[in-house]
Amino acid sequence: MTPLPALADLLHSAHVCALPMRVKFRGITTREVVIFDGPAGWGEFSPFAEYDDDESSSWLAAGIEAAYLGPPTPVRDVVEVNATVPAVPAEQVATVLARYEGATTAKVKVAEPGQTLSDDVDRVAAARDVVPNVRIDANGKWTVPQAIEAIAAIGEVQYVEQPCVSVEELAQVRRAVSVPIAADESIRRVHDPMRVVALDAADIAVLKVAPLGGMRAVLRLAEQMTMPVVVSSALDSAVGISAGVATAAALPSLELACGLGTGTMFVDDVAEPFRPVGGTVSPRAVTPFGELPLAAPDRDAWWRERLSRCYRVLAELPD
């Protein structure tokens, strides 16, 4: 782990921002993030509100690495990215995909609470009408029988990301269907991410920089995986996306489009967003705008207290 800077330095340089979104995603319409700068650039701290301090501390470690150590050495100049389609009505899919210039792959959200399997089938079909490669993401919302039924109804896709919650369930689904299975939460929200490999539960590993503790932590984990890796965002601002793109650019092998085009989902961002050109983005340093979309004072205080608690978690970890 990157040596910890002083907490006072982090808080002094921190900006708590509220980024309005074009459509609801993960149940939110505004994404709150904390950005701070250090000698190597800018870092981000933005764990989702329901995450406890222990889990959220990994996000702080990732931000500190970016600001105080900087990115790893790249081995490629461009990274292919997928479009991300929230759980919108099918008739809105083409409008969403139009924001991802040149993208040939779309990740479509499915299993949204309050929606039906028919909604999912229609949304995926609408995406297929626009791009040749479609992958779907259920965020662990299905049971094993529901996953098997839904995958059969939706039909052939590039892969199904996190159809069920547990690694054991992923393994069951993988044995029952013909399409590849990708693991996301079963890697980043568990004590032992390698259980996915041990139980032969997935064909693709989706790795996210902030939840896994930083760029170099992702690169080390990718080395241990016996499957292709997709680097994806955690609904990051441009600061967090820059760390994801830097990580993808440093991977020795990168076979599939990465989920690093989500900046198009924000109305406002903290810096110039990573807009896909020809379906790709390139690694670069980011500099926040002079005028930032700052959060309300009560949210600013809430985030600063949360950052301080997570800092104390990191400070208690063994070297």
User: Please, are residues 262 and 208 in contact by the beta-carbon 8 Å criterion?
Assistant: no
Q: Which residues make up each annotated binding site for Mg(2+)?
A: 137, 161, 184
141 is catalytic: no
Classify each residue of 20-48 as buried b or exposed e, where b means 16 or more C-beta atoms within 10 Å of its C-beta: ebeeebeeeeebbbbbbbbebbbbbbbbb
The single residue of 24, 107, 141, 208 carrying the catalytic annotation is 208
Amino acid identity for residue 255 in this structure: E
Q: How crowded is residue 234: how many other Cβ atoms within 10 Å of its Cβ?
A: 23
Q: Which residues make up each annotated binding site?
A: 137, 161, 184
For residue 2, the cross-strand partners are: none
Helix/strand/coil for 222? helix
For residue 229, the cross-strand partners are: 205
Token pair 């309300």: residue:
296
For residue 55, the cross-strand partners are: none
User: Please, are residues 34 and 307 in contact by the beta-carbon 8 Å criterion?
Assistant: yes
Type and span of the H or E element at 109: strand 105-109
User: Please, are residues 105 and 158 in contact by the beta-carbon 8 Å criterion?
Assistant: yes
208 is catalytic: yes
Q: In three state form, how does the secondary structure of 111-175 look?
A: CCCCCCHHHHHHHHHHHHCCCCEEEEECCCCCCHHHHHHHHHHHCCCCCEECCCCCHHHHHHHHH
Active site residues: 109, 208
